A and B are shown apart, each in its own frame.
Chain A
Amino acid sequence: MDFQVVILAGGFSSTLFPLVSKEVPKALLPVANRPVLSYVLDLLESNNLKDLIVVVEGEDAALKVGGWISSACVDRLHVEVAAVAENVGTAGALRAIAHHLTAKDILIVSGDIVSDIPPGAVAATHRRHDAAVTAMLCAQPVSGPSESGGSGGKDKTKKPACEDIIGLDSWKQFLLYIAKGTEIKKDTRVKKSILCAAGKMELRSDLVDSHIYAFKRSVLQKVLDQKPAFRSLKQDVLPYLVRTQLSQRSDVFSDQSNVEENGNGNGKNNMQNNEVVLSQILSNASSPSFHQVYESGLDSRKTHKCCVYIADESKYFVRLNSIQAFMDVNRDVIGDANHLSGYSFSAHHNIVHPSAELGSKTTVGPHCMLGEGSQVGDKCSVKRSVIGRHCRIGSNVKIVNSVVMDHATIGDGCSIQGSVICSNAQLQERVTLRDCQVEAGYIVCVGGEHKGETFARK
């Protein structure tokens, strides 16, 4: 497949403070004791997409990510790590690495995805329609039931805010309209011309853009060159392409055809026509798509297609872009979506590494994970939590719905609920935490009782 894959792995995201630190960029945050990036890489590998560029914001982060990649999967995949300046946005990042892009189509995947939706299907849809851009949509993730007591408890009573408003044609093949729900103040405006061309449009708010896109390289680069103000793929580039899909006036596309004509002569052109015909046959199009109808109705008009691939509802998809999402993803990967984790579960639906030591009368419930070399004292109880490698946990400790990262130390009599303890952090005796985050290396003093706090050195 002549596809190049770009993984936008981000840098030290501020929304994930304090989980993300100088040592751990966002891409390396552990999900069930594996960096989140590894889930994306596995997913791509399973779809036979092995030519990857990982784009990381910031040199330091790039070094960290590069180091991990070379140790983890250098033998299986061909991965290039590129560093770009911080805060350039997704479009800016692509602009910076444009010289690396050579393939006809580019698949762009966000690096914080934990999912089992095959990106290969997106690529195939893209090719089948000969589209300029194909976006993957999936059903709005529903927060799991087990988060009760967590910080999500309050949100659950609220209606989920509609994130994206997406307009589809009646066959659910083309993307006719996209807007961010939060940006729409009072009403949403849809252009009539596209409605006239497509006849029907279904406006839905129960789908979200999943940040996996396939772009035609030529189109993408033209847009990036011509619109230097565009910063974000999702908010600028994609809506722009969707908006202009029927217009001949945007020079992006007329130019492109010229280039191809001049550069390659007639032979290539014929081939292209054949390809179009082929793509029609492939898409089972007994009648031409509305783009073609539109084009044929008006001479000298150039259109481009914006397609969608809608993932099956049974598929799992979460983006790790908030602390809540981090908790959810950890819980799901060892719970409901455990096929993603790649581990084999015991009869008790949990994973306890053989080298982990458990004290007497300590119970580890289902949907738990206990990393290599960790020690848990007597009379402890662990429920629905992930505990990293080489953690030391004292006696009479209760850990529920929490994530404890590698090398953390938890004193006797602690009670932890719905919290994240980062690596090397230390909880002294009898600390009670509820919905808290503890930064890496932080020490929480004896006997403290905290609720909804963030512990960090500052």
Chain B
Amino acid sequence: MGAAEKKGAARVQKDSEDLSRQRLQAIVLADSFTTRFRPLTLERPKVLLPLVNIPMIDYTLAWLESAGIEEIFVFCCAHSMQLIDYLKKSQWCSLVRTIVSHKSTSVGDALRYIYEQQHTETSQIQGDFVLVSGDTVSNMPLAELIQQHRDRKKRDEKAIMTMVIKKQSRLGIGSDQLFVAVDPVTKQLLYYNEGDNNGEVCLDKSLLDTGVLVCNDMLDCYIDICSSEVLSLFEDNFDYQHLRRHFVNGLLVDDIMGYKIFTHEIQSSFYAARVENLRSYDMVSKDIIQRWTYPYVPDINFSGNHPLKLGRRGIYRVSDAVQSRSADIGASTVIGYGTKIGNGSKICKSVIGNGCSIGSNVVIQGSYIWNNVTIEYGCEIRNAIVCDGVKIRAGAVLQPGVVLSFNVVVGQDFVVPAYSKVSLLQQPTKEDSDEESEYADISNGTTHLLSGVNNLQMESKTSELDPDGAGYIWKVCDSVHDAEWKHSIVPIPMEKLADMAQAMDGDGIEDGSVVPPSGELKSDTDSINTDANDPNDDDYGYFEREVRETFLRAIEEDNNVDHITPLINSLRFSYDMASADCAGAIFYSMMRLAMDTQHNSTSELYRNATSIITKCKGVLGFYVKQIDEQIEVIMKFEEMCQESAALSPLFVQIVHFLYDKDVVQEDAILRWGEEKAGADESDKVYLNQCEAFIQWLKEASEEEDS
């Protein structure tokens, strides 16, 4: 008896030892699965982009190492070779193991891949792990937090994740606004909402029983302490893509198995932030210069970098910098090794990399100049990012918000317009499933690179940086609804801020006036009822509207419409619609989007339409496998043309385009033509327009037959 007890006690002890001996592991996602840093990420993985002259991932790895993490898995996707090479040469090669998957297009895919690997290899993720992305800059301690997480997990099996949040002192980090609700006592996360465009935060009534704390001033650091269940949850829910939008909200809203997420607010003395977009790149850089991230600051060697010397007013530079006496270096500036600065240049609040040569009378303000950049005399650079190897010829001006990618050459006296992005690579027009990732074919890239300089002359209309320049100015993507200013490194203009607040308030007021006084409550419910009744009369109309909203949301949110297919499928089943109806509704949404996007001429509208069709072809293609469905698309389009004068002249062109893109087959067009042939004359307007095209199709098929 006594022995048995002893044994039990020993086992308990062993268990706890096991737990404490468990290696601290971390997964670093070295791919953000977004396109925010394009065009820079076409040539180099995002995590290797320098942040105050040190690659981003070095900050993450140095922090994880010092926080006591014993094993780090780096998940590589885009440009994996570059990254693996870099890691091999770095001081962390013993600590880091790389996982490579080129197929992953989202965090969900990545975690599923890791889960699968877990079974094939022996020593993989065991138990709890820290999940961060490779662009995290932090100096917070982790050991204690992991212990807290484990303790909580022991008490409550369902507490599978601890999410780190930080109070944000300044607003406007450029990402979407985040609203979270937590339990004031237990700190359990109850609600998570990032950037939906609704003017209201909608909390379930059941949350209110205990009281909740709704926060807007919190920053999600994307540092998560996860238990092993997280991986298997991703495996089980194969449609989870985004870590927050799908996984966190999935747990909160759908209440899967009662799993709970807790939050941990870090003390204000520690730092944690993520470089999500150019604006946060700017913010984090400034924080590093202002030493919030200590010990990860430029004057300390933490990743094999050459430490710089910190002078007064926050100026970091080497002691023997080659610098003209008359050059004026302002506050909060970093100047790298071997950089020469000419006479009378003014530099402030900027970061200059190694080996740059800056001519005389150059003005650089609030900009990030990377390595080996040549800037000739008299240039003016404000709030810009200039990558490695760029040459800026004399007198050129970079207006605020410009991004110059690798090896771009800006011609003499050329003015690069505000917010433009310039790259030697052409803007990818073929956007398939890969577009979400930063992944770009290297071989593809080189052909572009070669042709880049030549093409420049030919395509002088859209991409020109002066005769002696090299590079393409990228068109601003038409689906970018939140304008460039939101994400660039330029401070948000005052009037935009006012607009934003106004817009936010505007919708609030409207609904404010709608709320009836107590005496009229009844009428209100009546109106809701009629509202609810409406769609019953017109199921298809309602379905179409929902599809359109889903579609627009997908476009707005992440630019990748491919994963709305499951959403549309679910709508389809809930409304009991045929596949043809889906095709019609999606096509309608696409055309409406094209029409709503700003255009001045019919040709511009055509361009909008074609670009959207190209982009969303995948989704549409899913529903137009049958001839009938294709006919439905054509009929739908015909209907739309009848309603909109702007669209009607484009009918043939767009049908032709659809044909080119294999969305509709010739059979469908021919059959549509036959069906329509018997219709009234007024109904045949578009058929007549198409006559030549149909004729051509017929001839083509006859030729083929013969």
A interacts with B: yes
Q: Is the CB of B508 within 8 A of A247?
A: yes
Check B200 for interface membership: any CB of A closer than 8 A. yes
| In the complex, B481 has a CB within 8 A of chain A | no
Smallest CB gap from B499: residue in A: A298
A231 near B517 (CB under 8 angstroms)?
yes
Contact A192–B504 (Cβ < 8 Å): yes
Cβ-based interface call for A70 (8 A): no
Please measure, in the bound complex, the distance between the C-alpha atom of A195 and the C-alpha atom of B210, giving whole angstroms.
20
Give the docked Cα–Cα distance between A165 and B199 (Å): 20
In the assembled complex, B267 has its CB within 8 A of some CB on chain A: no
Q: How far is the CB of A408 from chain B (nearest CB, A)?
A: 38
CB pair A206 B211 closer than 8 Å: yes
Out of B204, B497, B518, which one reaches A236, CB within 8 Å?
A: B518
The answer to whether A202 and B213 have CB atoms under 8 Å apart is yes
Known: A199-B216, A227-B517. A191 touches B200 (CB 8 A): yes
Total number of A residues with any Cβ neighbor in B under 8 Å: 47
Q: Is the CB of B215 within 8 A of A193?
A: no
| Bitwise interface map of B from 501 to 519 toward A, beta carbon under 8 Å scored 1, else 0 | 1101100110010011111
Tell me if B427 counts as interface (CB < 8 A to partner A): no
| CB-defined contacts of B205 to chain A, threshold 8 Å | 184-188
Q: How far is the CA of A199 from the CA of B363 in the complex (A)?
A: 38
CA distance A196 to B519 in the complex (A): 32
Nearest opposing residue in chain B for A91, CB measure: B517
Q: Which of A288-319 contact B (CB under 8 A)?
A: 294, 297-299
A230 at the interface (CB under 8 A from B): yes
A184: chain B residues at CB < 8 Å are 205, 208
Instruction: Determine whether the beta carbon of B519 is less than 8 Å from that of A187.
Output: no
Is B217 in contact with A200, judged by CB distance below 8 angstroms?
yes
Contact indicator B202/A205 (Cβ below 8 Å)? no
- Kindly state whether residue B212 has any CB partner on chain A within 8 Å: yes
Residues of B within 8 A of A191 (CB): 199-201, 508
A229 touching B516 in the complex, CB below 8 Å, given contacts A193-B504, A203-B208, A297-B501? yes
Within the complex, the shortest CB–CB distance from B89 to chain A, in Å, comes to 44
User: B184 interface residue, CB < 8 Å from A?
Assistant: yes
Judging by beta carbons under 8 Å apart, are B518 and A190 in contact? Answer: no
Assess the A192–B200 pair: CB atoms within 8 A: yes
Taking A192-B216, A196-B171, A230-B517 as contacts, is the C-beta distance between A244 and B512 under 8 angstroms? yes
The number of residues on chain B lying at the interface, defined by a beta carbon within 8 Å of a beta carbon of chain A, is 39
Question: CA A206 – CA B185 in complex, angstroms?
Answer: 14
B214 at the interface (CB under 8 A from A): yes
Judged by a CB distance under 8 angstroms, whether A143 is at the interface is no
Within the complex, what minimum Cβ distance (angstroms) separates B197 from chain A? 10
CB closest chain-A residue, reference B516: A229
Cβ of A353 < 8 Å from any Cβ of B?
Answer: no
Closest CB in chain B relative to A186 CB, distance in Å? 6
Cβ of A404 within 8 Å of any chain B Cβ, yes or no, is no
Nearest opposing residue in chain B for A195, CB measure: B216
Question: Knowing A199-B216, A244-B509 touch, does A189 contact B202 (C-beta < 8 A)?
Answer: yes
CB pair B501 A190 closer than 8 Å: no
Closest to B521 in A: A183
In the assembled complex, the Cα of A243 lies from the Cα of B504 at a distance in Å of 13
Q: Is B259 an interface residue (CB 8 A)?
A: no
Of B177, B200, B214, B498, which is within 8 A of A203 by CB?
A: B214
Q: How far is the CA of A243 from the CA of B515 in the complex (A)?
A: 10
- Write the chain A residue with the least CB distance to B497: A297
Is B643 an interface residue, CB under 8 A from the partner? no
A246 interface residue (CB < 8 Å to B): yes
**CB-nearest residue of chain A relative to B204?**
A187
A232 located at the interface, meaning its Cβ lies under 8 Å from any Cβ of chain B in the complex:
yes
Q: How many Å lie between the Cα of A240 and that of B201 in the bound state?
A: 18
Residues on B with beta carbons closer than 8 Å to the beta carbon of A203: 181, 203, 208, 211-214
B209 adjacent to A205 (CB under 8 Å): yes
Q: Please tell me if the beta carbons of B517 and A229 are within 8 angstroms of each other in the complex.
A: yes
> In the bound complex, do residue B517 and residue A235 qualify as a contact, i.e. CB atoms below 8 Å apart?
yes
Are A165 and B208 within 8 A (Cβ)? yes
Measured CA separation A191–B509 after assembly (Å)? 10
Cα distance A294–B512 in the bound complex, in angstroms? 19
Indicate which residue in A195, A204, A232 contacts B201 across the interface (CB closer than 8 Å).
Answer: A195
Q: Which residues of A contact B215 (CB under 8 A)?
A: 199-201
Interface residues of A in 241-298 (CB under 8 A from B): 243-244, 246-247, 249-250, 294, 297-298
Cβ-based interface call for A18 (8 A): no
Q: Is the CB of B520 within 8 A of A229?
A: yes
In the bound assembly, the distance between CA atoms of A243 and B518 in angstroms comes to: 15
Indicate whether A298 sits within 8 Å of B517 (C-beta atoms), given known contacts A190-B214, A201-B213.
Answer: no
Asked if A103 CB lies within 8 Å of chain B CBs, one says no
Picked from A200, A205, A229, A236, the residue with its CB within 8 Å of the CB of B214 is: A200
Q: Give chain B nearest CB distance to A185 CB in angstroms.
A: 7
Binary per-residue interface labels of chain A (161-204) against chain B in the complex, 1 for a CB within 8 Å, 0 otherwise: 01001010000000000000101111111111101101111111
Bound together, the chains give a CA A244 to CA B515 distance in angstroms of: 12
| Chain A nearest CB, measured from B202 CB (Å) | 5
Closest residue on chain A to residue B519 by CB atoms: A231
Bound Cα distance from A201 to B214, whole angstroms: 5
Q: Is B192 an interface residue (CB 8 A)?
A: no
Say how far A191's CB is from chain B's closest CB, in angstroms: 4
8 Å CB contact of B179 from A195, A246, A250, A299: A195
- Closest A residue to B197 by beta carbon equals A192
Q: Of B171, B177, B214, B497, which is in contact with the most chain A CB atoms at under 10 Å from its CB?
A: B214
Asked if A232 and B498 make an inter-chain contact with CB atoms under 8 angstroms apart, the answer reads no
CA distance A192 to B181 in the complex (A): 13
Minimal beta-carbon separation of B510 from chain A (angstroms)? 10
Is A192 in contact with B201, judged by CB distance below 8 angstroms? yes
- Is A195 in contact with B509, judged by CB distance below 8 angstroms? no
Residues on B with C-beta less than 8 A from A232 are 517-518
Asked whether B508 lies within 8 Å of A202 as measured between CB atoms, the reply is: no
Distance A229 CA – B217 CA, assembled complex (angstroms): 37
The CA-CA distance from A243 to B179 in the complex, in Å, is 19
Measured between C-beta atoms, what is the minimum distance from A116 to chain B in Å?
A: 25
A195-233 interface (Cβ within 8 A of B): 195-196, 198-206, 227, 229-232
User: B177 touching A196 by the CB < 8 A rule?
Assistant: yes
Distance, CA A315 to CA B498, complexed state (A): 44
Contact flags B179-205 to A (C-beta < 8 A → 1, else 0):
101001000000000000011111111
**Cβ–Cβ contact B201 & A190, under 8 A:** yes
Q: How far is the CB of A88 from chain B (nearest CB, A)?
A: 11
Report the bound CA distance from A229 to B516 in whole Å.
8
Cα distance, A95 to B179, chains bound together (Å): 40
A235–B213 Cα distance when bound, in Å, is 24
Q: Is the CB of B518 within 8 A of A235?
A: yes
Please give, as numbers and ranges, the residues of chain B lying within 8 Å of A192 by CB-CB distance. Answer: 177, 179, 198-201, 216, 504, 508
Bound together, the chains give a CA A193 to CA B512 distance in angstroms of 13
Residue with the greatest number of chain B CB neighbours at <10 A, chosen from A187, A206, A239, A247: A187
User: Is there an interface contact between A190 and B203, defined as CB atoms closer than 8 Å?
Assistant: yes
User: Interface 1/0s, chain B 417-458, versus A by CB < 8 A?
Assistant: 000000000000000000000000000000000000000000
Quote the shortest CB–CB distance from B185 to chain A (angstroms): 12
CA distance A235 to B179 in the complex (A): 27
- Chain A to chain B contacts (Cβ below 8 Å), 26 pairs: A165-B208, A181-B208, A185-B205, A186-B205, A187-B202, A187-B204, A188-B203, A188-B205, A190-B200, A190-B201, A190-B203, A191-B199, A192-B216, A195-B201, A195-B214, A198-B216, A200-B215, A202-B184, A203-B208, A205-B210, A206-B211, A235-B518, A247-B508, A247-B509, A298-B497, A299-B498
Query: Which residues of A line the B interface, CB within 8 A?
Result: 89, 159, 162, 165, 167, 181, 183-193, 195-196, 198-206, 227, 229-232, 235-236, 239-240, 243-244, 246-247, 249-250, 294, 297-299
- The 6 A-B pairs at the shortest CB distance, nearest first, are namely A199-B217, A189-B200, A235-B518, A195-B216, A204-B211, A236-B517
Residues of B at the A interface (CB closer than 8 Å) are: 171, 177, 179, 181, 184, 198-205, 208-217, 497-498, 501-502, 504-505, 508-509, 512, 515-521
Given A192-B177, A201-B214, A203-B203, 20 additional A-B pairs, CB 8 A: A185-B205, A187-B203, A187-B205, A189-B201, A191-B199, A192-B200, A192-B216, A192-B504, A193-B508, A196-B216, A198-B216, A199-B216, A202-B211, A202-B212, A202-B213, A203-B208, A203-B211, A205-B209, A243-B515, A247-B512
